[in-house]
Structure formats: C-alpha cells, structure tokens
Structure 1
C-alpha cells in the first residue's frame, strides 16, 4: 500500500479567514503579515525551530508544501525559492490572496497529491513549531498498524500527542512536557487521494465529529512554541509528564536536531516581539 505523506506550512500567506486574528480587508492583512520586523521574526522561528527536523527526517519520502503569496517581500521569497531548489521535499507554492482560506490551501496542495497513492497522510505545520526527526517514518508505521480502522470510512486521524510546550519570552525559555491530544502538530489525517480535503479542512479540536482517531503517546514527537508572536498564548489542556534537565538537552538533540543554547539565543533576540501567530 502506497501512503503519501503530504503537508502544508503557511508562511505569512495573505488571505482572509483561517486565522484567529481578524482583519477587515486583504490590504490590512498584508500590512500586518508583511511588517518587516514581524517577517524577520517569523523567518528566525522557521529556520531555527521548524526547519531542522524536516531536513533531518529519517524517512525522506514526504512532501511539505510551503504556501505564501507571490508578493512576499524580499529577501524571504528568494530564501524560500532557494530552500525549495535545494531540498526536494520542500515545494514552494505561490497563491494569490483569496477570501476563502480553505480553497487557498487546497489550491496549494492539489498539484502535489499523488493520484496513484492508496492513501494520503495529510498534515499541517506551523512555521514556529517542530516535529521529531522520525515523524514521517512513525506516521507510516503506525498507520499500517491501525489500517483496519481507516477502511470503513476511509478517514482516520493519527495523533502523536507527546510533546513539549516551549514558552519564549523576556524570562528566556521554559519547556513544559505535555501529552496534548489533537494539537495540530504531529497530527496526520489519512484520506484517499481523490478527496478534495486537506488537513486544514478539519478543525483539529473537533476531529471526532468527522472520523475515528488513534492517539500514540510515545515517543516525544513535537514542540509547540508559545511566544509574543503567537495568536494564542494558551498551551491548552493536556497531561503533564516529567523530563530531567539533562535528558531534555539530549532529547532536543536526538529527537529534533536542536540545541537549547541556540533556542535560548533566539528567544533572547525576540523577547521584545509582539504580534500574531503563524501563517
């Protein structure tokens, strides 16, 4: 069975809807998203926290579509083009502003769906979050173990729910270990390739309304960041678990290809930031 792993990362995409922060017009949204200081912060989060795990995936058979607008200011548009040219798994899609956000997301994803695949594992990824280096491999392996649950409805969510909440601010970094279900990061929605939906078509907080779901609570699989540019500063409900300081450093390196000193340096540089989350 061919399982395609296909994700979407929105990088400062100018469009209405799809965000917790509202704007009255596309022009107002553009002014907010393209603010030079905000874009500089978003790029630092993306390249420092999000990108290392994708570049280090143990299973390189995946596609992550980076969706932005054709008028994204330089040098960020050129940076994204260079990333796509250097990394086969990263595909840049330039989508003109659209009022209907889900239609825009489908426009970005549709050219990359493999019609010959048996199943497509759709996922979303915010540009300031991280997944473990074996997320793609784990999603494929775990789906194979529960494939029978997918067959009746041809819909299934697979939630790798053990993570770290990273709060960054003037006080530096704080990591809070949580098992948090359906956070949206490291969450895979398995659909047939002929279905028009993507991961973003399903509100991740209400997934049981539309499909059966399986939670995989080990191993550590995601980092969700909370900082001054976050749309929501709430880490949400979850179950705490414990990790020692020394083990935390080892897990950051082994699971995410990250170093805490680099993340602390980033937090220090951005501690005065203010604005709105992802996309």
Structure 2
C-alpha cells in the first residue's frame, strides 16, 4: 500500500478565516500579517525551528506545501522561492486572499495530491512548530500497523502525543515536557486520494467526532512554540513527563536538529 505524506504550512497567508485572531477586512488582516517586525519573527520561527528537522527527515519522501499570498512582501517571497528551489520536498503555492479559508487550503494542496497513491497522510504544520526527524518514517510505519482501522471508514488520525512546549519570553527560552493529545502538530489524517478534505478541514481538538484515532505516546515527536505572536498562547491540557536538563538538550539536538544556545542567542536579537 503506497502512502503519500502531504502537508500544508501557512506562512502569513492573508485570508479572513482559519485563525483565532480575527479581522474584519483583508486590509486589516494584511496590515497585521505583513507588519515588518512580525514577518522577521515569523521568518525566525520558520527557518530556525521548523525547517531543520524537515531538512533532516530520515524518510525524505514527503511534500510540504508552503501557502502564502502573491503579495507577500520582499525579501520574504524571494526567500521562500529560494528555499523551495533548494529543497525538493518544499512546494510554494501563492494563493490570492479568499474568504473561505478551507477552500484556500484545498486550492494549495490539490495540485500536489497524488491520485495514484493508495492513501494520503495529510498533516498541518504551523511555521513556528517542529516535528522530529523521523516523523515521516514513523507515520508510514505506524499506519501500516493500524491500516485496518482506516479501511473500515476511509479516515484515520494518528497522533504523536509526546512533545515539548517551547516558550519564548523576553529573549529567553523555556522547555516544558508534555504529553498532549491531538495538538495539531505531528498529527496525521489519513484519507483516500479522492477526498476533498485536507488536515485543516478537521478541527484537531474535535477530531474524534469524525474518525477513529490512534495515539502514540513515544518517542518525543514534536515541539510547539508559544510566544507573543502565537495564534493561541495557551499550553492547553496535557500531562507532564520528566527528563533532566542535560538529557533534554541532547534530545533537542538528536530529535529536532536544534541547539539551545543558538536559539537563545538568536531569540535575544529577534524577539
């Protein structure tokens, strides 16, 4: 059974819906998203936290669609083009502002869905979060173990629940180990290739109302960033898990290709 892994990352996309911070017009939304200082911070999250592990995936057979607007200010539009040119898995889609956010997401994803796949593993990825370097490999492997559940309904969620909450405040970084179910990051929604939906069509906090789901609580698989630009700054419900400081720093490097000292140094200059 051939599984396509297909993700969507929104980078300051100007649409009126789909976010917890609301605006009444495209102009208000554009002014908020395209503020130069905010864009500099988003670029920091995306390139320094999200991208390292995507570049280092142990299974490179995946597609990550980066969705933004055709009027994204320079130099960021050119930078995204350069990133896509240098990373085969990264696909840039320029979607004009649309009121219906899910339709915009579908427009970005549809050109990259492979109709010859047996199943598509859809995932969403916020530009300030990270998945572990073996997320794609693990999702394919674990889907094979539970594919019978998918065959029954044509839908299945696979949730990697062990992660780190990375809070940036006043130029400092705090890591809190948490087990959180269906956070959105490292959550895969397996659908048939002809399905109209994407991962964004399902509210991750209510995903059990639409499909069966499997939670995998080991190993450490995600980082969720919390900071002043977060769409939602709450840590949310979850369970703590224990790891000493030195081991945590080693896991940060081993699992996510990140280094605490570098991130703290960059954060002091950007945030």
The normalised TM-score by structure 2 is 0.99
The answer as to whether partners of 2:40 and 2:270 remain within 8 angstroms in 1 is: no
Partner of 1:216: 216
Instruction: For 1:198 and 1:138, locate their aligned partners in 2 and report how far apart those are by CA, in whole Å.
Output: 20
Partner of 1:71: 71
Instruction: For 1:105 and 1:14, locate their aligned partners in 2 and report how far apart those are by CA, in whole Å.
Output: 12
Partner of 2:244: 244
Map of 1:111-122 to 2, 5 A cutoff?
A: 111-122=111-122
Task: Give the Å deviation of 1:270.
Answer: 3.6
The answer as to whether partners of 1:167 and 1:173 remain within 8 angstroms in 2 is: yes
Instruction: For 2:38 and 2:162, locate their aligned partners in 1 and report how far apart those are by CA, in whole Å.
Output: 30
Instruction: For 1:44 and 1:255, locate their aligned partners in 2 and report how far apart those are by CA, in whole Å.
Output: 19
Count of aligned pairs: 271
Map of 1:139-218 to 2, 5 A cutoff?
A: 139-170=139-170, 172-218=172-218
SS of aligned partner of 1:52? helix
SS of aligned partner of 1:114? coil
Instruction: For 1:63 and 1:208, locate their aligned partners in 2 and report how far apart those are by CA, in whole Å.
Output: 25
Instruction: For 2:13 and 2:101, locate their aligned partners in 1 and report how far apart those are by CA, in whole Å.
Output: 10
Map of 1:98-137 to 2, 5 A cutoff?
A: 98-137=98-137
The answer as to whether partners of 2:171 and 2:264 remain within 8 angstroms in 1 is: no
The answer as to whether partners of 2:15 and 2:98 remain within 8 angstroms in 1 is: yes
Partner of 2:34: 34
Task: Give the Å deviation of 1:171.
Answer: 6.3
Structure 1 gap segments, 5+ residues each: 272-279
Q: Please, what is the CA RMSD of the aligned residues?
A: 0.7
Instruction: For 1:231 and 1:265, locate their aligned partners in 2 and report how far apart those are by CA, in whole Å.
Output: 24
1:77-96 Cα shifts (integer Å, max 9, x gaps): 00000111111100000000
Map of 1:247-258 to 2, 5 A cutoff?
A: 247-258=247-258
Instruction: For 1:128 and 1:171, locate their aligned partners in 2 and report how far apart those are by CA, in whole Å.
Output: 16
Instruction: For 1:269 and 1:230, locate their aligned partners in 2 and report how far apart those are by CA, in whole Å.
Output: 18
Instruction: For 1:80 and 1:171, locate their aligned partners in 2 and report how far apart those are by CA, in whole Å.
Output: 26
Instruction: For 1:119 and 1:109, locate their aligned partners in 2 and report how far apart those are by CA, in whole Å.
Output: 15
SS of aligned partner of 1:151? helix
Instruction: For 1:141 and 1:61, locate their aligned partners in 2 and report how far apart those are by CA, in whole Å.
Output: 13
Instruction: For 2:241 and 2:225, locate their aligned partners in 1 and report how far apart those are by CA, in whole Å.
Output: 17
SS of aligned partner of 2:6? strand
Instruction: For 1:235 and 1:270, locate their aligned partners in 2 and report how far apart those are by CA, in whole Å.
Output: 22
Task: Give the Å deviation of 1:263.
Answer: 1.4
1:39-70 Cα shifts (integer Å, max 9, x gaps): 01100111000000100000000000000000
The answer as to whether partners of 1:65 and 1:109 remain within 8 angstroms in 2 is: yes
The normalised TM-score by structure 1 is 0.96
Structure 2 gap segments, 5+ residues each: none
The answer as to whether partners of 1:169 and 1:268 remain within 8 angstroms in 2 is: no
Instruction: For 2:147 and 2:119, locate their aligned partners in 1 and report how far apart those are by CA, in whole Å.
Output: 10
Partner of 1:84: 84
Partner of 2:55: 55
Task: Give the Å deviation of 1:251.
Answer: 0.3
SS of aligned partner of 1:140? helix
